[in-house]
Amino acid sequence: MRTTVGIIGAGPAGLLLARLLHNAGIDSVVLESRDRAYVEQRQRAGILEQGTADVLRAAGAGGRMDREGLRHDGIELRFAGRRHRVDLPALTGGKSVLVYAQTEVCKDLVALRLKDGAPLLFEAEALAVEGAEGDRPSVRFRHEGRESVLECDHVVGCDGFWGVARRAVPAALSQAFERTYPFAWLGVLADVAPSHDELVYARHERGFALLSMRSPAVSRLYLQVPADTDPAAWPDERIWDELDRRLETPGGRRLERGPITQKSVTPMRSYVHEPMRHGRLFLAGDAAHIVPPTGAKGLNLAVGDVVTLARALVHRRDTGSDELLDAYSATCLRRVWQAERFSYDMTTMLHRSPEADGFEERLHLARLDRIATCRSAGADLAEAYTGFPVG
């Protein structure tokens, strides 16, 4: 099997890259180790930056998103018994975010790929990337019980942190930067209408809490918990009681409760692999970087990566120049490190660390107070939250 671009992974990064290349007339093959049902059901991110939503619309993948997605023009910060709304459009010149789950983005992109008749192989496990330093890299993979080789001009690893693509970058040429946080998120899905119209980020003496949503009828909620937490140790009533405590403000209403349909624990970590390119192998999304979910940057960073790469591949096709491909890693990493900085700031500011002393606690409250009382500080948060420029 031969193609111009071999894409490992049918998450939002791989699927969107395939769509952008298809629209530009560049052929690709997508290999995904899981089946279609898994790809379309795995719960991940739910906040789309302004730029991400615009890219999906331009790619022809925004129809259902615009019908069913929930536009949010603000977020609410709760701390020290106070409530402060960050008005995103007012602070950014009109930008907002959209609540539309990653599962729905994947469904839309899979449907378009299959409608186009372009190659998308589910249950095709990538085994190795070979020959990345040469002109004819390839991907060895197993599909339907047989081992095959996909020959490419370029290989793109969109296969997540545990995938094979990053392992093809020689250790001597790699640098990894990592931060592990001493807490995690207990996340739940509940069949109940959200108790607030916008996302609520709460810093409380008992720990962080987040009120989010997936639709007008489904709430997504999170609690800061110890890193070794077992979700089974948290019965539903305990979760609702703790959410009420951490989200409570004077005069505020208690949460609407409903059946909890899913519980999971998400570790909190930051990770960046440099470089994001080795020869004709390119890394994108979680294969190259991970952010704690506090800043809602993971999916959006992946979109920035593949938009940058698609632009570079089209430039090479049209001009014969590798200039943009050569700049891919440096271009993406500028945006990645800004998102890492923002996500780190949000995480440390809003969570109670077991390692922090009273001095640090007061500093974090002072940062929140500054955002609530200084327009420029609020604008800095709003600009980052709605998205850094791509490229």
Q: Of the listed 100, 181, 201, 222, which one is catalytic?
A: 201
Report the candidate in 199, 175, 179 with the shortest Cα–Cα distance to residue 329. 175
Please, are residues 121 and 143 in contact by the beta-carbon 8 Å criterion? Answer: yes
Q: Which of 11, 9, 31 is nearest to 101 (CA)?
A: 11
DSSP 55-89: HHHHTT--HHHHHH-EEE-EEEEEETTEEEEEEHH
Around 301, how many Cα atoms within 13 Å sit in the side-chain half-sphere? 35
Active site residue 297: yes
How far CA 238 is from CA of 27, 109, 116, 261, 274, in Å, comes to 52, 38, 48, 15, 42
Q: Alpha-carbon distance 192 to 66, whole Å? A: 22
Does 100 participate in catalysis according to the annotation? no
Tokens standing for residue 331? 């271009």
389 a catalytic residue:
no
What CA–CA distance (Å, rounded) separates 227 from 104? 29
Which has the closest alpha carbon to 109: 164, 167, 160, 61? 61
Of the candidates 154, 273, 297, 351, the residue annotated as catalytic is 297
C-alpha 138/C-alpha 123 separation (Å) is: 18
| Catalytic entry in 12, 119, 293, 351 | 293
CA-CA distance, 315 to 20, in Å (whole number)? 13
User: Residues 18, 19, 23, 25: what is their CA dihedral angle, to the nearest 10 degrees?
Assistant: 20
Would residue 72 show up in a list of annotated catalytic residues for this protein? Answer: yes
Q: Which of 181, 222, 328, 385 is catalytic?
A: 385
d(CA 347, CA 335): 18
Active site residue 293: yes
Amino acid code (one letter) for 158 = C
Where are the strands (E) in the chain, listed by range?
5-8, 28-31, 47-48, 70-72, 74-79, 82-87, 97-99, 120-121, 124-130, 138-143, 146-151, 154-157, 175-190, 199-202, 209-215, 218-225, 260-274, 277-278, 281-283, 289-290
**What is d(CA 151, CA 157) in angstroms, rounded to the nearest whole number?**
14
Catalytic annotation, pick one of 12, 72, 222, 273 = 72
Q: What residues act catalytically?
A: 72, 201, 293, 297, 385
